[in-house]
Amino acid sequence: MSNPTTNPLRVGLRQERVIAPQCLIIFGASGDLTQRKLVPALFELYKQRRLPSEFALLGCARRPWSDEEFRNRMANALKKEIANHSLEWAQFSSGLFYESIDLQRSEDLLKLGTRLEEIDRIRATHGNRTFYFSVSPKFYGSGCRALASAGLLNDPKRSRIVIEKPFGRDYGSAQALNQLVQSCGKESQIYRIDHYLGKETVQNILVLRFANAIFEPIWNRNYISSIQITAAETVGVEDRAGYYESAGALRDMVQNHLTQMLAITAMEPPGHFDPEAIRNEKAKVLQVARLADEAEPWNCCVRGQYGKGGSLKDPILAYKDEPGVDANSTTETYVALKLFIDNWRWQGVPFYMRTGKRLAKRLSEVVLTFREAPVHLFDSAGGSPTANQLILRIQPNEGAEFHFEVKSPGSGMRSRPVEMDFSYDESFGEPSDEGYVRLLADAMLGDPTLFTRGDEVEAAWRLYTPILELLENNPWQLPIHKYESRTWGPAESDALLAKDRLLWRRP
């Protein structure tokens, strides 16, 4: 991450809003997310001078750490980053505190209240509090209830709750959790986080669509023949088997990250750029999305699980052999799906989504394929002319490219596909911030635009209900197909597109 003070471009291009004095409270502060993502993101905000001087972070977990121990642990986790910013770290870390808290114990709630008041006094944080739940999802509901019962959510202008995914396990549990959480505070206090929405390139889909007049007229069924949304990873399950075994790729990636990319790609233009206008449109499009075959989901859904792969020198374990994974596990590490959106804009246009671990490349992208030219006047170097494609590169090499045909040089009239390319790095000279930098700042600013509203989460779960029910009742009807690690997933996933005479893009 670059230092804004040494990068004039960054200072010049950014328009930042001001975060009010604030105490961020992280529950689950001894966990991985805090040291891997949250504290680095806060330190980045500090370095960008976007945190107010009246800022404090209170880490809470059950372990009996002192403030000092918490600071040392965070310093250790950010060692590399701090090496060049030791003075800034010293200043930033003086605002880090720790309290051993179990939200289920009433005496701990009292202790929390007292500590927050003390922090208000010494750091002048004015009672503005953002509570971040980075705990096991089974504690989201009871945690919110505990905060509400202690009166810590009473002021909707000064207290907010940030909830990590997964929000529920299915439609019913998401509905129940929404009811519980909404009974503890107003919907405007609840920030359901999906870190894909923090990605600059996902937000750029909105700008590309709604700041340019040329795309909107062709962004529909009349011009677009199909859309592919991919989130491919090269990593395996890492050390998260405990969680992943009960989640699988459908709950871990599809219901949230891929569905959010789908919603932003397919939504109608909002009337204003305001949080509710945008979230209304996203919710509306998800409410009319459906699996291509809800009655027989096996016709539109492929599940896979990675087998071993790699080379003799660098072997890769099969999912079933990973530490903590059941040797007979039927958890999917790959999903491919076909969906439709039943509205005027998208009727009949297939949306294909795929995600998987241990695939050939790390790559997230949205590919819009346009209809072919109605008459082929020219021979193409590639056989027949390729349909135009707009590719939104979410990561890596963030940017966008447009594929179209031009005349091949020479005396004949043959066409040939070329690309027009935009890259964030080349145009702006800096990598984008991590999603958490943007989302933590937005939560503390009280801007919910990039957070998922209760009805959106429910609509996203409803979309996959036919698959989840089938897996519950007749899992054999959606078998797991093995794929070799470092490939593009099971052959059955290619067959899903081949039925429609299409291919997955393999950049």
Provide the annotated active-site residues: 257
Instruction: Write the CA distances from 146 to 5, 101, 133, 134, 288, integer angstroms.
Output: 42, 12, 12, 15, 36
Torsion angle (degrees, nearest 10) of CA 187, 190, 196, 199: 100
The tokens of 214 are what? Answer: 């040329």
- Shortest Cβ 252–ligand BG6 spacing (Å): 5
Question: HEC states along 263-296?
Answer: HHHHCCCCCCCCHHHHHHHHHHHHHCEEECCCCC
- Shortest Cβ 133–ligand BG6 spacing (Å): 15
Q: Residue 93 in contact with residue 61, Cβ under 8 Å?
A: no
Burial call 346-384: b when 16+ CB within 10 Å, e when fewer: beebbbbbbbbbbbbeebbbbbbbbeeeeeeebeeeeee
Nearer to ligand BG6, 152 or 437 (CB): 437
- Shortest Cβ 195–ligand BG6 spacing (Å): 6
User: Which residue, 230, 205, 291, 223, is CA-closest to 504?
Assistant: 230
Nearer to ligand BG6, 33 or 75 (CB): 33
Q: Residue 28 in contact with residue 134, Cβ under 8 Å?
A: yes
Nearer to ligand BG6, 41 or 184 (CB): 41
- Shortest Cβ 292–ligand BG6 spacing (Å): 25
Q: Kindly identify the residues of this chain, within the stretch 353-392, that bind ligand BG6 according to CB under 6 A.
A: 364
Nearer to ligand BG6, 92 or 140 (CB): 140
Q: Residue 484 in contact with residue 307, Cβ under 8 Å?
A: yes
Residue nearest to ligand BG6 (CB): 252
CA 342, CA 285: separation in Å to the nearest integer?
9
CA 188, CA 426: separation in Å to the nearest integer?
38
- Shortest Cβ 253–ligand BG6 spacing (Å): 6
**456 lies in the binding site for ligand BG6 (CB under 6 A):** no
Number of residues interacting with ligand BG6: please give it, by CB under 6 A: 3
Nearer to ligand BG6, 219 or 334 (CB): 334
- Shortest Cβ 193–ligand BG6 spacing (Å): 10
Among 120, 252, 398, 458, binds ligand BG6 (CB under 6 A): 252
Nearer to ligand BG6, 337 or 359 (CB): 359
Q: Kindly identify the residues of this chain, within the stretch 224-243, that bind ligand BG6 according to CB under 6 A.
A: 233
Contact positions vs ligand BG6 (CB under 6 A): 233, 252, 364
